[in-house]
Every structure is written in C-alpha cells, then in structure tokens.
Amino acid sequence: MKLAVALINNAPAFHFGQANDFKIVTLENGKIVSSTDLHDEIQTHQARPQFLKDQGVSALICDGIGSGAVDRLVAADIALFGFNRLSVGDAIKAFAEGSLPQVTDTFECAC
C-alpha cells in the first residue's frame, strides 16, 4: 500500500491545502519497502486528492484539512490520518504499526 505524508519544507504540513510536497512511502507487512519525495505542481488544492490517487496513494497523513478536501479524499478512496504532533518518521511508524487514528472529518493542527 502507498501512504502519502503532506509536507512543507520537509516538515508536517500545517494544512493540506498548503502542502505541495509529499513523502510517498510503500509499505508491505508494516515495513517500508520504498520511499520517494514528490513535488506537486498542481496550482489548485482541489485537484490534489486526484493527484495522489493517480500516484497510487490509498492513505494520507496531514495536520489540518478542510471539509472540501475531506470530501474529495473520500471520493478518491483515500483514508485520512492526522500527525498527532509526531515527526514525519514517527507518524509513518505509528501508521505502519496501526496506532495512528484515522480521521473522518475536518480538523486543524493542534500545534
């Protein structure tokens, strides 16, 4: 499965709509088998969920998100998870271990 982590300057993105960089991680049996950094040239954040879907992403970790983006992620069949104040590496590890809770609604960074 492919997991995307929304980033700004290699740090957790405070809001999905502001993220133009993503760490795309492929996980197999809870282990990272590949990782790549991807820059999104899309100028409108409304197109970002489909961009991620086109990359094969089935789950996204980000720090804040609005209702329109949540709706587009749901339509693209991409599950949403929050950073919960974790570093990028710790969030990926928590996701792989199944301990990062899934988000089903809008939320803002609690930073």
In angstroms, the CA 48 to CA 57 distance is 11
Report the pLDDT value the prediction gives residue 111, as an integer from 0 to 100.
Answer: 40
What is the spatial distance between Cα 93 and Cα 77, in angstroms, rounded to a whole number?
Answer: 22
From the list 24, 45, 46, 44, the residue with the least C-alpha distance to 35 is 24
pLDDT (0 to 100) of residue 110:
45
pLDDT of residue 70: 87
Provide the residue-wise pLDDT of the chain in tens; the chain has 111 residues: 999 999 988 888 878 888 889 999 999 998 999 999 998 777 666 888 998 999 999 999 988 888 888 889 999 999 999 887 889 999 999 999 999 988 876 655 444
Distance CA 73, CA 49 (A): 5
Q: Which domains does the chain have, with CATH numbers?
A: 2-103 (3.30.420.130)
pLDDT of residue 94: 94
Q: What are phi and psi of 51, to 5 degrees?
A: -60, -45
